[in-house]
Amino acid sequence: MTERIVLAYSGGLDTSVAIGWIGEATGAEVIAVAVDVGQGGESLETIRQRALGCGAVEAYVADASDEFANEYCMPTLKANALYQGHYPLVSAISRPVIVKHLVKAAREFGATTVAHGCTGKGNDQVRFEVGIQTLGPDLKCIAPVRDLALTRDKAIAFAEEKGLPIETTKKNPYSIDQNVWGRAVETGYLEDIWNAPTKDIYDYTAAPEFPPAPDEVTISFEAGVPVAIDGVKVTPLQAIKELNRRAGAQGVGRIDVVEDRLVGIKSREIYEAPGAMALITAHKHLEDITVEREQARFKATVGQRWSELVYDGQWFSPLKRSLDAFIEDTQKHVSGDIRMTLHGGQAVVNGRRSETSLYDFDLATYDTGDTFDQSMARGFIELWGMSAKVASGRDIRVAGK
């Protein structure tokens, strides 16, 4: 029986050519799998037809947009995950859900190998292959760009020679990856890290310099998950989409960073994640009133570690799973409403309320009705500083010898 290979298919030039390229190099049949993670753009049926036109024996489309929002974006929100303090893991969280569907398709179509269009320099090859190794340890991986010398020039020549139904003349100088959680743009002019991004780079956000009137939004959460916007019930996917639209119109969520790739390269990327950044901001502020101090402090370090693991392609790893359990436990009381103003590139929280709040007006107030006994503070401070005071006494004594 002819060997079968499942290919992660985007509909773009590289993966379209990869269908025939893999076929010629290996003699295998190629099954194209396109996964909808809310990337928008062309219809998936158009993409499916293109795969067949490029020689795929089967083309399969998986609608994973709700699954992606519920099982990938929501954990990222609960973790307030920002890799290196900036990047909300847009591409990093889409790879594991794509992997799930690739492995499922490999089983369904009897494939032995999974292929993807990544280069040998990035994080995504790692995320795909570590994920595949974990979910389908018997499956092999192949990356035509990396393993079968499929360069851009060769791809264009191949597409023209074979008359593939794909545009080869439209020159996009950027490498773009997008889904409902955000959009990532790199290469070309951006590789000079002194160059400011130009206007044409952005798609999810309008220029924050010329914002429309401020937009006030109330986001309601239950156990860390957005459940309503301005009182209207929403699913996680709807919440992200609605905030992409409203925060995007105000230019919220533009990020320009040089980040540390897992392979040791520092690389520059421009992100736009209006919905994700508005949600993370709101969620963090709700945690500020509902999560106990020590738990909150510890959670910040857990969230950072979680972000690194996910960035580094360890979505399906045991440690990531254990950290998920911790984060989930912290979210029990993260319920309530956050009011924020979206304007001129900023999402600013200006009101919060929660039935499960730890904010105690009577303890906090400086007005009459104060229930905090200030006389307790003196003794507390005395003991709190004791250890450092004893040490400093020793230091003075030793220095004086």
Catalytic residues: 14, 95, 124, 175
- How many whole angstroms separate alpha carbon 316 and alpha carbon 324? 11
Cβ-based nearer residue to ligand ARG, 313 or 345: 313
Cβ-based nearer residue to ligand ARG, 111 or 145: 145
- How many whole angstroms separate alpha carbon 77 and alpha carbon 224? 8
Q: Which two tokens stand for residue 314?
A: 């360890």
Q: Can you tell me whether residue 399 is helix, strand or coil?
A: helix
Tell me the closest approach of the beta carbon of residue 274 to ligand ARG, in angstroms. Answer: 17
Nearest in space to 90 (alpha carbons), one of 321, 295, 244, 193: 244
Tell me the closest approach of the beta carbon of residue 307 to ligand ARG, in angstroms. Answer: 11
Cβ-based nearer residue to ligand ARG, 147 or 186: 186
* φ, ψ at 209 (rounded to 5°): -70, -25
- How many whole angstroms separate alpha carbon 207 and alpha carbon 249? 8
Q: Which two tokens stand for residue 250?
A: 């105000």
Tell me the closest approach of the beta carbon of residue 6 to ligand ARG, in angstroms. Answer: 21
Q: Which two tokens stand for residue 287?
A: 């945690």
Cβ-based nearer residue to ligand ARG, 69 or 255: 255
Cβ-based nearer residue to ligand ARG, 119 or 235: 119
Cβ-based nearer residue to ligand ARG, 36 or 269: 269
Sheet containing strand 336-343, strands side by side: 232-233, 225-229, 215-222, 336-343, 346-353
Residues that bind ligand ARG (CB under 6 A): 91-92, 123-124, 175-177, 184-186, 269
Task: Work out whether the CA dihedral 199, 202, 206, 208 comes out positive or negative.
Answer: negative
230 and 218 in contact (C-beta within 8 Å)?
yes
Cβ-based nearer residue to ligand ARG, 250 or 314: 314
Beta strand segments in 334-390, E? 336-343, 346-353
Tell me the closest approach of the beta carbon of residue 359 to ligand ARG, in angstroms. Answer: 36
Residue 297: exposed, middle, or buried by beta-carbon count in 10 A (0-12, 13-18, 19+)? exposed
Tell me the closest approach of the beta carbon of residue 256 to ligand ARG, in angstroms. Answer: 12
Cβ-based nearer residue to ligand ARG, 17 or 92: 92
Nearest in space to 226 (alpha carbons), one of 335, 93, 342: 335
Tell me the closest approach of the beta carbon of residue 123 to ligand ARG, in angstroms. Answer: 4
Nearest in space to 136 (alpha carbons), one of 316, 390, 283: 316
Task: Work out whether the CA dihedral 173, 150, 112, 44 comes out positive or negative.
Answer: positive
For residue 115, give the amino acid letter: A
Tell me the closest approach of the beta carbon of residue 179 to ligand ARG, in angstroms. Answer: 11
Q: Where are the alpha helices (DSSP H) in 29-123?
A: 44-53, 65-68, 74-78, 90-109
Tell me the closest approach of the beta carbon of residue 35 to ligand ARG, in angstroms. Answer: 15
Task: Work out whether the CA dihedral 301, 307, 309, 314 comes out positive or negative.
Answer: positive
